[in-house]
C-alpha cells in the first residue's frame, strides 16, 4: 500500500510545507470515514499534546471563505482543541474529493483507528462515487483484494447486526461467522449469541448447523462404510471453511462425492477463485 507518505511529496513530508493554522479556522472533513471518535481517546491524546505538543501535522485544504477543511488528522485536531491550543501545525494541499476521502481512509486504516463497518462504507463510497475497483482500493490501503472483499461483505448483514457490530456488542469475527448463515436466521443467531455470550467459534458452529438443512433438499446418501459422519471429512470441511471464509459442505459416499463451496455474489466468487488458485484476476 502507498500510505500517506506516498501521497505527500517528499519535500513537504520532511517539513518544508508545514505551517501553523488557527484551530478555530479548521472545519471537519465531510468524508471522514470514522463516524464516531470516542471522547476518551480524544482526552487521552489531548493530555499527550499538552505534554509534548502535536507531533504530526494535520493535512488541510483551503476553502474559498478563508477557512481550511481537514483532509486527514481529525482526531489530532479535536485533541489540540481540547488541549487549549490556539494553532496546530498543518500541511496545506489542494486535493480532489477522491483524494480527500482516500487520504482520510488510508490514515485511519493504517492506524487501525476505524471500525470494520466504517471501513466497509468508505470502500463502498470509493466504488460507487469514484468507480474504483476492489483491486485499486486494496493497493491504496495496503491490503489484499480478498481482505477488501471480505470487509465489504459486512454491509450485507442485517441492520440490527450492523448496529451491534458498530456498538461493539459483537466482534468482526462474530459478524463474519453470521455471514455463513442463511439470511433469514441471522438476526435470531445474533440475538442468541448475545444472550449466551458465544465465542466466535461457537457462533460459527451454530451458523453451520443452522444452514445444514438447506444445503441439500434431496435425501442424504448413506454409506454402508460410514454410517456416522466421518470425523476426517468434518475436519477437512472445517479447514476449508476457515481458509475460504465461506460455507463449505462435503457430500461423500463410499469414497466419492461432491464438494460444495458457497458464494453470495460475483465479487465473492472472484475472491474464492483467487484464494484457491493463488492468482488475482
Averaged pLDDT for residues 182-194: 90
* 216/211 Cα distance (integer angstroms): 10
254-266 per-position pLDDT tens digit = 888 899 988 766 7
Residue 226 has pLDDT above 60, yes or no: no
Averaged pLDDT for residues 229-250: 81
75-85 per-position pLDDT tens digit = 889 899 999 99
Domains recognised in the chain with CATH numbers: 3-150 (3.90.1530.10), 226-281 (no CATH)
Percent of the chain with pLDDT over 90: 25
Give the residue numbers marked as catalytic.
74
DSSP string, the chain: --HHHHHS-HHHHTTTTEEEEEGGGEE--TT-S-S---HHHHHHHHHHHHHH--SS-EEEEE-TTS-EEEEE-HHHHHHHHHTT-SEEEEEE----HHHHHHHHHHHHHHTT-S-HHHHHHHHHHHHHHH---HHHHHHHHT--HHHHHHHHHGGGS-HHHHHHHHTTSS-HHHHHHHTTS-HHHHHHHHHHHHHHT--HHHHHHHHHHHHGGGT--SPPP--SS-SS--HHHHHHHHHHHHHHTS-EEEEEETTEEEEEE--SSHHHHHHHHHHHHS---
Averaged pLDDT for residues 23-48: 82
Averaged pLDDT for residues 10-15: 42
Amino acid at each position: 500500500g502507498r500510505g500517506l507518505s506516498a501521497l505527500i511529496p517528499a519535500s513537504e513530508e520532511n517539513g518544508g510545507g508545514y505551517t501553523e493554522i488557527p484551530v478555530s479556522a479548521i472545519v471537519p472533513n465531510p468524508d471522514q470515514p470514522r463516524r464516531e471518535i470516542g471522547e476518551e481517546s480524544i482526552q487521552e491524546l489531548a493530555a499527550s499534546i499538552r505534554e509534548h505538543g502535536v507531533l504530526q501535522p494535520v493535512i488541510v485544504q483551503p476553502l474559498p471563505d478563508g477557512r481550511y477543511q481537514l483532509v486527514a488528522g481529525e482526531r489530532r485536531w479535536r485533541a489540540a482543541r481540547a488541549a487549549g491550543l490556539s494553532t496546530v501545525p498543518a500541511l496545506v494541499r489542494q486535493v480532489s474529493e477522491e483524494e480527500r476521502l482516500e487520504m482520510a481512509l488510508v490514515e485511519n486504516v493504517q492506524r487501525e483507528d476505524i471500525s470494520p463497518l466504517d471501513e466497509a462504507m468508505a470502500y463502498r463510497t470509493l466504488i460507487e462515487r469514484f468507480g474504483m475497483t476492489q483491486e485499486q482500493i486494496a493497493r491504496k490501503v495496503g491490503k489484499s483484494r480478498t481482505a477488501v472483499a471480505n470487509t465489504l461483505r459486512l454491509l450485507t448483514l442485517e441492520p440490527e447486526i450492523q448496529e451491534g457490530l458498530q456498538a461493539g456488542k459483537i466482534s468482526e469475527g462474530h459478524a463474519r461467522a453470521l455471514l455463513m448463515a442463511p439470511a433469514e436466521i441471522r438476526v435470531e443467531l445474533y440475538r442468541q449469541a448475545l444472550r449466551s455470550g458465544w465465542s466466535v467459534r461457537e457462533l460459527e458452529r451454530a451458523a453451520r448447523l443452522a444452514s445444514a438443512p438447506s444445503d441439500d433438499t434431496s435425501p442424504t446418501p448413506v454409506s454402508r462404510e460410514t454410517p456416522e459422519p466421518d470425523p476426517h471429512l468434518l475436519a477437512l470441511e472445517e479447514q476449508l471453511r476457515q481458509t475460504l471464509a465461506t460455507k463449505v459442505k462435503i457430500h461423500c459416499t463410499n469414497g466419492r462425492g461432491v464438494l460444495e463451496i458457497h458464494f453470495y455474489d460475483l465479487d465473492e466468487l472472484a475472491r474464492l477463485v483467487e484464494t484457491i488458485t493463488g492468482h488475482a484476476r
